Amino acid sequence: MSAQSWIAAQREAYLANAAATRDFRVQMRGARSVLIFGIYLGLLLLITYFTYSNLAGDEQRTLMNVQRGLQSFRDFTTSLLAFGVLMIAPALAATSIVTERQRQSLDLVFSAPVTPKYYLVGKMISSYRYIWMLLALALPTSAVSVVLGGATWYDILISYLIISMSALVLTAFGVLMSTLSRNIVPAVIYSYVFGFFYCAFLASEASAESAFHYSRDQISFLAAASPFNSMLAARSYTLLGSVHVPNWIFVVVLSLMIAKICLSAAGTVLMPSDKRLVVQTRLHGLLYLAIGFSALTIVDFGGAARHATALLATFALFVLTPLFPFVCCSGYGAGSRHYRNGSFNVLRILDGTPAGGLPFLLLCVIVSYGSYGLVKSQTATLDPSYWLFGLYPLSLWFFIGAFAQVCSSLAGSLQAARTSSFCWFLILVILPLVCLMPFWDSFKDYQDVILLGPMLDFDGKNALPLVHILSLSCAGLAAVLFARLSVTSKKRSPA
């Protein structure tokens, strides 16, 4: 393909997309959209009016209190806007393709000369454009902050950009879930669960003391990517050498990378027979993980622990949480490509079949953790314990992937396997940590029991958590063996 034809194809996909135009006309048809926009704008104006009325009616107000009140109102309205946008974006995108499948119109769409990329980009644009319409309607309330001195136009526009980038990520993932699901409810639930984990991951980075460096404006780009931190992040920067790079640039690049890989994965679902597209998508995913974890070396964890870099890299690996149910699970109901064809086959690591799912998950861990360590070793002194500690996240994700195979062997259908594996992930990995958080003083007494115990070793006393590594590895091997025996016994049992 020549450069001129490639540019023409991109222009047609992003600027003149027929699918996006059709969905836009459907969204704006009738009086319902006007009514929704009117109620939305009315609520924002009422909040603005009552807030500034209370501020103006304060008899003991001083210039400092007024300025603080204006900034508090600015932060409140921005957070409220971010919450509203993030509640709407997953639902819009998650229903975009599954409704077409239920109407049995997908075959009609692809009978025309339409590529999966063209169709998916159109669906994403139609949902993302709706989000920007909501942001534009909220502009009058934000303009009040500019007029009365609570913010500048630069702060408002950059905060809108950061919020819209979070909406873009959730929209792209919602489109992916819409292609994977056969019903609307699972697609919407998975989209909201991913949105919760994505925002929680960014919020945890934003609230961590290690995210803030030498001044209020120098914060990590992960903290700046949080939609609820958008106003603070508007003027923030990351220091690259002696150059101050605005964080919104990193946020835009990060969001576009996530959206690109989500759309590529959705394309493999719509065209399961295209094996070359599956291989390209997995290679692109590995490349983006390497780039993302290399960029993560910019974040200064503060050096509170001797193996602080290992803790940060292990924590960041939880970006793989939405991946493992769709990579490691197998079952019926979604095509022959998802039928179980083995437990662990390195030769199938890129072909998208269940046998290559667990090796691909481990390869993602190795590429992510390894690229972070290699780049970090070039820019700073890396403690040797970093590479020893890497055995822990490798064994942890081996156990998680192996347990997904157990769920697949017991569930039967692919959708049930994915749902049960994710629920058991929450119960075994996340829930013990959440339940023990209120008892932080005695938390270290249970550190050796829960699966995430080594990540809480902030003192750096245990550089090699052998107990967790051996127990997780043995549990993973037992899970793989159990899944294989379970499938074998089902094949031998009479129908």
Distances (CA, A) of 54 to 57, 65, 356: 5, 12, 61
Distance between CA 407 and CA 324 in Å, rounded? Answer: 12
Long-range (24+ apart) CB contacts under 8 A made by 415-420 are 415/181, 415/182, 415/186, 415/331, 415/333, 415/334, 416/331, 417/325, 417/329, 417/330, 417/331, 418/325, 418/326, 418/329, 419/186, 419/325
Residues 6+ away with beta carbon under 8 Å from 121 = 13, 14, 17, 19, 20, 263
Q: Is the pLDDT of residue 306 over 80?
A: no
pLDDT at 472: 92
Q: Is the pLDDT of residue 60 over 70?
A: no
Burial of 319 (0-12, 13-18, 19+ CB in 10 A): middle
Top pLDDT among 241 and 20 is at 20
Strands 243-246 and 237-240: antiparallel
**pLDDT single digits (tens) 354-372:** 999 999 999 999 999 999 8
Average pLDDT over residues 98-123: 81
Distance between CA 416 and CA 399 in Å, rounded? Answer: 19
CB 90 within 8 A of CB 174: yes
Distance between CA 301 and CA 273 in Å, rounded? Answer: 44
pLDDT at 397: 93
Q: 342 is written with which tokens?
A: 């083995």
Q: Is the pLDDT of residue 103 over 70?
A: yes
The whole-model pTM stands at: 0.84
Q: Is the pLDDT of residue 102 over 70?
A: yes
Lowest mean pLDDT among 36-45, 160-169, 228-237, 485-494: 485-494
Give me the residue spans of the domains in the chain: 12-50+68-271, 304-490
Average pLDDT over residues 322-337: 84
pLDDT at 460: 55
**pLDDT single digits (tens) 427-479:** 888 888 777 766 656 556 666 678 887 777 655 555 567 888 899 999 999 99
Q: Is the pLDDT of residue 352 over 50?
A: yes
Nearest to 369 by CA among 391, 384, 350: 391
Q: Is the pLDDT of residue 150 over 90?
A: no
Lowest mean pLDDT among 87-96, 196-205, 306-315, 398-407: 306-315
Top pLDDT among 53 and 341 is at 341
Lowest mean pLDDT among 132-136, 207-211, 251-255: 207-211
Average pLDDT over residues 149-174: 88
**Radius of gyration of the chain from Cα atoms?**
24
Q: Is the pLDDT of residue 210 over 50?
A: no
Q: Is the pLDDT of residue 213 over 50?
A: no
Burial of 330 (0-12, 13-18, 19+ CB in 10 A): buried
CB 88 within 8 A of CB 163: no
pLDDT at 299: 66
pLDDT at 395: 93
Q: Is the pLDDT of residue 489 over 70?
A: no
Distance between CA 70 and CA 143 in Å, rounded? Answer: 12
Average pLDDT over residues 139-149: 77
Distance between CA 142 and CA 156 in Å, rounded? Answer: 7
pLDDT at 303: 46
pLDDT band at 58 (very low <50, low <70, confident <90, very high): low
H/E element, 6:
helix 3-14
CB 329 within 8 A of CB 408: yes
Lowest mean pLDDT among 182-196, 290-304, 328-342, 379-393: 290-304
Distance between CA 357 and CA 363 in Å, rounded? Answer: 10
pLDDT at 307: 56
Average pLDDT over residues 302-325: 71
Q: 455 is written with which tokens?
A: 């990540």
Distances (CA, A) of 326 to 24, 187, 193, 194, 266: 31, 13, 14, 13, 12
Average pLDDT over residues 298-318: 65
Q: Is the pLDDT of residue 351 over 70?
A: yes
pLDDT band at 378 (very low <50, low <70, confident <90, very high): confident
Q: Is the pLDDT of residue 209 over 50?
A: no
